[in-house]
């Protein structure tokens, strides 16, 4: 964070007063931020480099490409927020929580993306000489915009009183703590002003717009063709999202969506169903299917971990059981059982097999609490994989074909629709993966339905009660073991459901797909990470967490062996700064932050 070094070195600044992080007059800062944003917009239309060696073709005047588009978007956001902070009429809706903090983040987004691009060009092509004037311009304007934004006034926190006898180390610690508090305060927004009631059609239009934006962002992220663009996308999306949430727009949007929950959920599925139509070939639809499988299983795990609070580290085994069960009855030539069930029967077999496996594992282990349960489930997950490896006809009966797995699983055919073939529907080409994407979307819908309905019912409250305080829950008449077993079994069958589709998508089911931890999701560790990263006990959380956890290793291939390391660092940072996950459950938010930062009243969307 570069801003930390610019933090106040002048102790004479009276605490509690309003002044910027950088000592410029606020009016000048505001103008600088807005003007910088405006000039950055202009600069994205210029050429930044002279050669097309840098991916994305940044050489054309008058037509932004690649990373320039990202800079353009964040610059537009910066300019709009800048104008809103000037109090321009008609832009007030953009920043219901005050534009200043949001403007800082937006300027940061512009600056980070622009400078990342400029630095990437210079490094990859060897020297600043490869920059065209446009490149220099964007560097200067985005920096100016950031400096201006940082000069905006904010409420400085009072420093904690310092013990006069404190030693040097303590003094330094105290000063850095205060600096950190000040920087944090600089980026803190007010509580957004309450949202008035809009006509129903307007609110639904807003929901449609929000969904459309999310689809665009997601499609853009999935379709990024080279590493630089994906990193730029992450920077822009991250800071841009922060800017929007500081401006209070996210709060307003979630208020509107919680007023129309059913419309939002249906709309989200309709939007997701549009995704294959945005793709011209099957290349990225593949990613879509895998993400959806991963996300669905993570959502199933969220019932077990997020609602009932049972830490299950062997969850991927249930996916495996479902996949194996479906593969065995799929009519594959390498399956020892030579039967070919129709899809609905295969789904039932897969879900039932997982259910039985879940109850078998759950019945003895659910008497344990906390860490012990985690260890035992971890063990059972590995037992499943090793058993599948050994049932090859030599070490055990021939069922799973050992490490070769069950291969050449035929494509599904549902109601005469061959999911393996390409179809042309209304001018759009629906490829194999797009077919499976639609099928998987139905499974996801089932899981979402189960999650929502069971969460908001007697059984769901019993799960949460068990998670909160098991002794008290027992004293309230909840049969803890039974309720936990139900959670375990429901989670297992949902994973099995996803497994049946996974077997057909991947053609092959092998034991290696179901490790505890590995570089490729889904595995138990990544599933749990998706739940924790996204937000426990929410529906959106695991979906977003799973998308990120799948896309990032997939797109940043250059990380290579450092992937897991980077993943670990990212998780630690997240747990430090946002322990409730990206999409916080309101309960969780209250658990981890002071009451001042979170709503005191739990709305209907809390669960």
C-alpha–C-alpha distance, residues 607 and 169, integer Å: 45
Smallest gap from residue 461 Cβ to other proteins (A): 5
User: Whose Cβ is closer to other proteins: residue 477's or residue 560's?
Assistant: 477
Binding-residue total with other proteins (CB under 8 A): 37
Smallest gap from residue 459 Cβ to other proteins (A): 5
Q: Is the peptide bond before 522 cis (omega within 30 degrees of 0)?
A: yes
Smallest gap from residue 490 Cβ to other proteins (A): 7
CB under 8 A: which stretch of 277-285, 462-470, 504-512, 558-566 binds other proteins?
462-470
Given candidates 449, 517, 569, 573, which one binds other proteins under the rule CB under 8 A?
A: 449
**465 binds other proteins, rule: CB under 8 A:** yes
At residue 396, the 3 state secondary structure works out as coil
Site string for other proteins, 472-511 (x = CB under 8 A): xxxxxxxxx-----x---x---------------------
What are the C-alpha distances in Å from 24 to residues 55, 96, 103, 152, 167? 38, 25, 16, 8, 34
Q: Phi and psi (nearest 5°) for 603?
A: -80, -175
Smallest gap from residue 600 Cβ to other proteins (A): 6
At residue 62, the 3 state secondary structure works out as coil
Smallest gap from residue 574 Cβ to other proteins (A): 20
User: Whose Cβ is closer to other proteins: residue 329's or residue 462's?
Assistant: 462
Smallest gap from residue 601 Cβ to other proteins (A): 5
**Residue 548 token pair:** 């990120």
User: Whose Cβ is closer to other proteins: residue 174's or residue 587's?
Assistant: 587
Site string for other proteins, 587-606 (x = CB under 8 A): xx-xx---x----xxxx--x
User: Whose Cβ is closer to other proteins: residue 307's or residue 530's?
Assistant: 307
Q: What is the secondary structure of 343-362 as a DSSP string?
A: HHHHHHHHHHHHHHHHHHHH
Footprint (CB under 8 A) of other proteins, residues 246-285: none
**Residue 88 token pair:** 């321009």
Smallest gap from residue 392 Cβ to other proteins (A): 37
User: Whose Cβ is closer to other proteins: residue 208's or residue 474's?
Assistant: 474
CB 292 within 8 A of CB 285: no
**471 binds other proteins, rule: CB under 8 A:** yes
Smallest gap from residue 456 Cβ to other proteins (A): 8
Contacts of 522 (CB under 8 A, 6+ apart): 293, 294, 297, 298, 316, 319
User: Whose Cβ is closer to other proteins: residue 84's or residue 486's?
Assistant: 486
**300 binds other proteins, rule: CB under 8 A:** no
**Residue 404 token pair:** 């070769």
Given candidates 450, 494, 543, 583, which one binds other proteins under the rule CB under 8 A?
A: 450
Smallest gap from residue 534 Cβ to other proteins (A): 18
8-state DSSP, 430: E
What are the C-alpha distances in Å from 162 to residues 16, 155, 174, 178, 375? 17, 21, 7, 11, 45
**Is the CA virtual torsion 127, 43, 3, 191 positive or negative?**
negative
Given candidates 424, 458, 557, 560, which one binds other proteins under the rule CB under 8 A?
A: 458
Footprint (CB under 8 A) of other proteins, residues 560-589: 587-588
User: Whose Cβ is closer to other proteins: residue 397's or residue 603's?
Assistant: 603
- Nearest Cα neighbor of 309 from 488, 100, 70, 496 is 488
User: Whose Cβ is closer to other proteins: residue 31's or residue 459's?
Assistant: 459
Smallest gap from residue 587 Cβ to other proteins (A): 4
Q: What is the secondary structure of 512-577 as a DSSP string?
A: GGG-SS-SSSSSHHHHHHHHHHH-TT-SHHHHHHHHHHHHHHHH-GGGGGGHHHHHHHHHHHHHHH
Contacts of 92 (CB under 8 A, 6+ apart): 84
User: Whose Cβ is closer to other proteins: residue 504's or residue 588's?
Assistant: 588
At residue 424, the 3 state secondary structure works out as strand
Strands 417-418 and 154-155: unpaired
Which residues lie near other proteins (CB under 8 A)? 449-450, 453-454, 456-462, 464-465, 468-469, 471-480, 486, 490, 587-588, 590-591, 595, 600-603, 606
């Amino acid at each position: 964070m570069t801003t930390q070094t610019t933090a106040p070195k002048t102790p004479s600044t009276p605490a509690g007063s309003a002044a910027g992080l950088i000592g410029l007059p606020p009016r000048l800062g505001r103008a600088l931020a807005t003007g910088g944003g405006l000039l950055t917009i202009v600069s994205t239309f210029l050429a930044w480099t002279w050669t097309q060696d840098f991916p994305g073709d940044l050489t054309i005047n008058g037509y932004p490409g690649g990373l320039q588009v990202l800079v353009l978007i964040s610059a537009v956001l910066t300019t709009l927020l800048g104008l809103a902070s000037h109090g321009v009429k008609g832009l007030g809706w953009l920043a219901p929580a005050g534009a200043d903090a949001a403007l800082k983040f937006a300027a940061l987004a512009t600056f980070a993306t622009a400078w990342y691009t400029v630095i990437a060009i210079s490094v990859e092509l060897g020297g600043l000489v490869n920059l065209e004037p446009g490149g220099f311009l964007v560097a200067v304007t985005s920096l100016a915009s950031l400096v201006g934004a940082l000069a905006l006034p904010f409420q400085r926190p009072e420093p904690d009183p310092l013990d006069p006898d404190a030693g040097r180390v303590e003094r330094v610690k105290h000063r850095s703590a205060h600096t950190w508090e000040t920087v944090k305060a600089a980026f803190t927004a007010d509580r957004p002003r309450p949202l008035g009631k809009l006509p129903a059609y307007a609110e639904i239009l807003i929901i449609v717009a929000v969904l459309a934006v999310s689809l665009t962002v997601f499609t853009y992220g999935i379709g990024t063709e080279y590493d630089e663009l994906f990193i730029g996308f992450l920077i822009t999306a991250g800071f841009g999202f922060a800017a929007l949430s500081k401006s209070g727009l996210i709060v307003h949007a979630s208020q509107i969506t919680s007023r129309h929950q059913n419309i939002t959920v249906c709309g989200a599925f309709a939007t997701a169903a549009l995704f294959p139509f945005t793709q011209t070939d099957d290349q990225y639809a593949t990613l879509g299917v895998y993400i959806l499988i991963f996300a669905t299983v993570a959502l199933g795990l969220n019932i077990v971990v997020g609602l009932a609070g049972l830490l299950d580290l062997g969850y991927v085994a249930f996916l495996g059981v479902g996949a194996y069960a479906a593969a065995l009855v799929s009519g594959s030539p390498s399956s020892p059982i030579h039967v070919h069930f129709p899809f609905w029967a295969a789904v039932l077999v897969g879900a039932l097999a997982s259910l039985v496996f879940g109850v078998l594992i759950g019945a003895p282990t659910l008497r344990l609490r906390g860490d012990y349960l985690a260890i035992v489930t971890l063990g059972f997950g590995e037992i499943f994989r090793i058993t599948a490896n050994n049932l090859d006809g030599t070490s055990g009966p021939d069922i799973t074909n050992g490490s070769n797995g069950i291969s050449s699983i035929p494509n599904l055919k549902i109601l005469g629709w061959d999911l393996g073939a390409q179809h042309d529907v209304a001018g759009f080409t629906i490829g194999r993966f797009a077919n499976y994407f639609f099928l998987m979307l139905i499974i996801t819908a089932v899981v979402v339905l189960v999650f929502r309905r069971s969460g908001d019912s007697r059984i769901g409250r019993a799960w949460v009660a068990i998670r909160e305080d098991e002794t008290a829950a027992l004293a309230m008449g909840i049969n803890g073991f039974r309720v936990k077993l139900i959670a375990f079994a429901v989670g297992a069958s949902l994973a099995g459901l996803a497994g049946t589709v996974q077997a057909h998508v991947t053609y092959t089911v092998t034991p290696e797909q179901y490790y505890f931890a590995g570089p490729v999701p889904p595995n138990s560790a990544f599933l749990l990470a998706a739940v924790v990263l996204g937000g426990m006990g929410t529906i959106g959380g695991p979906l977003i967490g799973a998308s990120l956890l799948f896309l990032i290793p997939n797109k940043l291939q250059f990380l290579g062996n450092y992937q897991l390391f980077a993943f670990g660092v990212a998780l630690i940072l997240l747990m430090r700064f946002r322990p409730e996950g990206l999409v916080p459950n309101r309960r969780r938010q209250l658990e981890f932050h002071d009451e001042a930062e979170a709503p005191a009243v739990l709305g209907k969307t809390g669960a």
